Amino acid sequence: MAVMTYLEAIRQGMWEEMERDERVFLLGEDIGAYGGAFKVTAGFYDHFGAERVIDTPIAEAAIVGAAMGAALNGMRPIAEMQFIDFISCAFEQLTNMVASTHWRWGARVPMVVRGPCGGGVHGGPFHSQNMEAYFFHTPGLKIVEPATAYDAKGLIKAAVRDDDPVLYFEHKYLYRRIKEDVPEKDYIVPIGKGALRREGKDVSVITYGSMVHVALEAAAELEKDGVGVEVIDLRTLLPMDEEMVLTTAAKTGKIVVLHEDRKRGGIGGEIAATIGEKAFEYLDGPVVRVASLDTPVPYSPALEEVFMPNTAKLKTAIKELVAY
């Protein structure tokens, strides 16, 4: 075991997969000699060479298109979006082509598209978004978003080995803030399996990504008031661990769905609908969503604090639901 940051865990996972399988290669903007905007790929260019660490133009559609072509020809590309916000430039390639190819004519497209998501760093509306809901609607894609360093390494390795296209969202706020013991040996975190982060009897918080830490903080504070909060970390958004979601709903009967993405059209609505359809008889109150406001992400630190969910907002929602 070695103590490493969330960023270093991603870096080590990709490094190990490139050492393990010569078909794995990287492509993206400034990932070579510069080492990436956040230095996730620092040292890769010198070690693996220009043929496996490819600097590209600022052209996300071309990056994803090239990755798809390579995947169809037996390679296993990892394409980086310098900021995940700009994955929208490759929306057509991902939703119409990459996601549908296996469904249309049986060809596998083993590729990963990864990049930094999320706010809390005062990056403004073009460098702080959470884009997962845009792709959650698309059959054929898999979507993961780790909350811990252990999962960050295990999920990037699982994504590289998967025969289907995987979107790997990594929260930039966690890059150097989260540290934990991570095995240096080979391991994966299975795609499609959530994690029980904290047991509780009164209310369940279902969440993912950076909001896992908000949920755990709120749960620890509410424990002092005698409120038992169960925290579920989805880890994989598509395919979602529906069994874990329904199990916690049946256990506590009160559910808060927490995500950093905006509320309207967010993944939380789908989770709430699933619980309403399949676990309604267990509920002892409405399924509550805590999410960001339905506006662009503000530049102003003070406005961004108002925009995003936080521990105080979550505690208020939990208390109101418990008292329902």
As given in the structure block, the two tokens for residue 213 are: 């830490």
Whether residue 1 is predicted with pLDDT greater than 90 in this model: the reply is: no
The reply to whether 163 and 25 lie within a common domain is yes
Whether residue 306 is predicted with pLDDT greater than 90 in this model: the reply is: yes
pLDDT score, position 37:
96
Q: Among 159, 182, 205, give the residue marking a domain's end.
A: 182
The reply to whether 176 and 40 lie within a common domain is yes
CATH number of the domain to which 207 belongs: 3.40.50.920
The four Cα atoms 201, 206, 211, 215 give a dihedral, to 10 degrees, of -10
Predicted confidence (pLDDT) per residue in 224-248, tens digit = 999 999 999 999 999 999 999 999 9
Residue 91 lies in a domain: yes
78: β partners: 26, 112
Among residues 47, 102, 127, 259, the one annotated as catalytic is: 127
**Structural domain count, the chain:** 2
Residue 188 lies in a domain: no
The reply to whether 174 and 77 lie within a common domain is yes
Q: Find the helix packing angle between 242-252 and 267-278, rounded to 10°.
A: 60
Q: What's the domain range around 130?
A: 2-182
Mean per-residue pLDDT, 283-297: 97
**Average predicted confidence (pLDDT) for the chain:** 97
Q: For the chain, what is the largest distance between any 2 Cα atoms, rounded to a whole number of angstroms?
A: 60
Q: Which residues contact 13 (CB under 8 A, 6 or more apart)?
A: 152, 153, 154, 155, 156, 157, 160
The reply to whether 316 and 168 lie within a common domain is no
Whether residue 122 is predicted with pLDDT greater than 90 in this model: the reply is: yes
The reply to whether 162 and 263 lie within a common domain is no
Q: Among 182, 217, 237, give the residue marking a domain's end.
A: 182
pLDDT score, position 52:
98
- Strand, helix or coil at 289? strand
Distance, in Å, from the CA atom of 111 to the CA atom of 71, rounded to the nearest integer, reads 6
Predicted confidence (pLDDT) per residue in 70-118, tens digit = 999 999 999 999 999 999 999 999 999 999 999 999 999 999 999 999 9
Whether residue 155 is predicted with pLDDT greater than 90 in this model: the reply is: yes
Q: Among 125, 160, 182, give the residue marking a domain's end.
A: 182
Q: What is the CA radius of gyration of the chain?
A: 19
Residue 213 annotated among the catalytic residues of the structure:
no
| Residue 21 neighbours by CB distance under 10 Å | 13
207: β partners: 233
- Strand, helix or coil at 318? helix
Predicted confidence (pLDDT) per residue in 188-213, tens digit = 999 999 999 999 999 999 999 999 99
The reply to whether 169 and 204 lie within a common domain is no
Residue 244 lies in a domain: yes
Q: Which residues contact 215 (CB under 8 A, 6 or more apart)?
A: 197, 205, 207, 229, 231, 258, 314
pLDDT score, position 141:
98
The reply to whether 101 and 238 lie within a common domain is no
The reply to whether 219 and 140 lie within a common domain is no
Distance, in Å, from the CA atom of 233 to the CA atom of 215, rounded to the nearest integer, reads 10
The reply to whether 176 and 201 lie within a common domain is no
Phi-psi region of 20 (alpha: psi -120 to 50; beta: other; left: phi over 0): alpha
Mean per-residue pLDDT, 148-172: 98
The reply to whether 153 and 231 lie within a common domain is no
| Residue 247 neighbours by CB distance under 10 Å | 16
pTM of this structure: 0.97
DSSP state for residue 144 in the 8-state scheme: E
Residue 255 lies in a domain: yes
